[in-house]
Amino acid sequence: MVFTVPSDLSGGLYFLNGKRTTIESTETFDVIEPRIGQVVAKCPKATADIVDQYVKAAADAQSAWGETTALDRGKVLHKVADLIREHAEEIAIWEVKTNGKPIYEARCDIASSADTFDFFGGIATAVLQGDSLELPGGPSQRIAYTRREPYGVVGCIGAWNYPFQTCVWKVAPALAAGNAVVYKPSPFAPASPVLLGEILTAAGVPKGVYNVIQGEQEAGVALCEHNLVAKVSFTGSVASGEAVQRQAATKNVKPVTLELGGKSEIIIFDDSDVKSAVASAMLANFLNQGQVCTNATRVFVQKGILASFTEAIVQEANDKLKVGDPLLEDTRVGANINEGHLQRILGYVESAKQEGGVVLRGGVRVHPTGVEGGAYFEPAIITGLSDEARAVREEIFGAVMLILPFETEEEVIARANNTTYGLAAGVFSG
């Protein structure tokens, strides 16, 4: 089957039995294209009955897929990788339209998604093996053996910041292991997982093995609670993750994988190379409009290097962070996911100012030419805050860097660890 990238969303945002489709539902949500800030479609929300129908379709298809050899599944996943590479540019444009990130970043996401399918296609045969164990009496009388078996149907729920890649990171390992998937994207970025469905079908993934439902919390709850869903894989906020873990234990007790929020840090000591520290702090704060779970928004800088680091990072941000239409080649900061999220980020900037913060650059809304309707934000660098400030404690999930001076190693380790989150960390020293 030939894969062609569809030109719009008119084929529906659901995916069932190997093709795009839609459902009848009285309730819908608005699909907003972040780049222009406009509603481009209305998408019906899945009810519990629809979730049930999709999970049953996945369960029916899984039996045969789970019986194929890991080698054969690996071959299909390699074909998926090839198709993604063949259509990388068109998929990257879809991703920009789904999420608002700059095209140069979307290209990296799509390239890494192809690599992910190759990786899991390659390890399927090597990893999916069991052990044999000797039992009392010796191997001539008794041995035990273990086998790695698929769970069955895996319920996957994604966030909106890496719509294609997050989906791929869940789907590729699940399919490699012989599972079927029902995927629920974020209603803020629902399109890319449907595109992935078309690629999977074209590569030879059997009908029903991968399915997409749409909706908000209600659809997610129904998926987590469904008794034919044998495992849940979730990416999103800590609050939703806590709920997901509870829901996954209501009707049967399912294993759950949670990838949640963060408030990470980098620590820059006096003997660091300023250029390298600046380059890394830029990456750790401003990629994807700062909408990255591992963002190191708490930038602890030792006092001896504070002045030179601060001057250099503000200069670098002024020189490099061009906010604009994400489809343009030289844009480095695209649109935030939606108006509500932008207002939340602006609220954190305001709270920082009220708590003694000094905004060294950015921190305001902007309206780039040609895409004025989108939720664009000039990345902020803020100093002068204590560790107790709201912006320092809570996940902002936006392009807001906080420079926090320190004197000693003992002090900074204690302050860096003084958080309820834990995702990533970086240290710079000579």
350 is catalytic: no
Q: Residue 212 or 277: which CB sits closer to ligand NAD? A: 212
Choices 72-80, 202-210, 229-237, 268-276; region in contact with ligand NAD by CB under 6 A = 229-237
Largest interatomic CA distance in the chain? 79
Q: How far are the Cα atoms of 268, 358, 385, 387, 409 from residue 415, in angstroms, in the given order? A: 13, 20, 13, 8, 10
Q: Tell me, residue by residue from 70 to 109, as one string, x for binding to ligand NAD by CB under 6 A and - for no binding.
A: ----------------------------------------
Cβ atoms of residues 215 and 29 within 8 Å? yes
Which residue of the chain is nearest ligand NAD when measured via CB?
Answer: 220
Q: Is 383 one of the binding residues for ligand NAD (CB under 6 A)?
A: no
CA neighbor of 224 nearest in space, from 259, 184, 168: 184
Choices 50-58, 59-67, 254-262, 297-305; region in contact with ligand NAD by CB under 6 A = 254-262
Q: Is 157 one of the binding residues for ligand NAD (CB under 6 A)?
A: yes
Residue with tokens 């998408």: 43
Rounded Cα gap, residues 425 and 94, in angstroms:
32
Rounded Cα gap, residues 305 and 297, in angstroms:
18
CB of residue 113 vs ligand NAD: minimum separation in angstroms? 15
Sign of the torsion angle spanned by Cα atoms 417, 419, 421, 427: negative
Using DSSP's 3-state secondary structure scheme, residue 149 falls into: coil
What would the two tokens of residue 39 be?
A: 């509603």
DSSP assignment string, 13-65: SEEETTEEE----S-EEEEEETTTTEEEEEEEPP-HHHHHHHHHHHHHHHHHH
Choices 96-104, 202-210, 233-241, 351-359; region in contact with ligand NAD by CB under 6 A = 233-241
Q: Tell me, residue by residue from 316 to 335, as one string, x for binding to ligand NAD by CB under 6 A and - for no binding.
A: --------------------
Using DSSP's 3-state secondary structure scheme, residue 138 falls into: coil
Q: Residue 215 or 357: which CB sits closer to ligand NAD? A: 215
Q: Tell me, residue by residue from 205 to 224, as one string, x for binding to ligand NAD by CB under 6 A and - for no binding.
A: -----------xx--xx--x
Strands 400-406 and 132-134, bridge-based pairing? unpaired
Q: Residue 58 or 159: which CB sits closer to ligand NAD? A: 159
Cβ-based burial of 371 (10 A; exposed 0-12, middle 13-18, buried ≥19): buried
Q: Is 290 one of the binding residues for ligand NAD (CB under 6 A)?
A: no
What would the two tokens of residue 56 be?
A: 């049953």
CB of residue 145 vs ligand NAD: minimum separation in angstroms? 35
Q: Is 160 one of the binding residues for ligand NAD (CB under 6 A)?
A: yes
Residue among 259, 339, 355, 394 flagged as catalytic: 259
Q: Is 112 one of the binding residues for ligand NAD (CB under 6 A)?
A: no
Residue among 198, 224, 293, 395 flagged as catalytic: 293
Among 159, 167, 181, 381, binds ligand NAD (CB under 6 A): 159
What would the two tokens of residue 140 be?
A: 């001539």
CB of residue 345 vs ligand NAD: minimum separation in angstroms? 13
Q: Which amino acid is at 229?
A: V
Q: Residue 76 or 416: which CB sits closer to ligand NAD? A: 416
Q: Residue 277 or 346: which CB sits closer to ligand NAD? A: 346
293 is catalytic: yes
**C-alpha torsion 156→169→10→92, nearest 10:** 160
Q: Is 395 one of the binding residues for ligand NAD (CB under 6 A)?
A: yes
Strands 210-212 and 180-184, bridge-based pairing? parallel
Choices 50-58, 199-207, 235-243, 405-413; region in contact with ligand NAD by CB under 6 A = 235-243
What's 205's DSSP letter?
P
Binding site for ligand NAD (CB under 6 A): 157-161, 184, 186-187, 216-217, 220-221, 224, 235-237, 240, 243-244, 247, 259-262, 293, 395, 397, 423
Q: Which residues form the catalytic set?
A: 259, 293
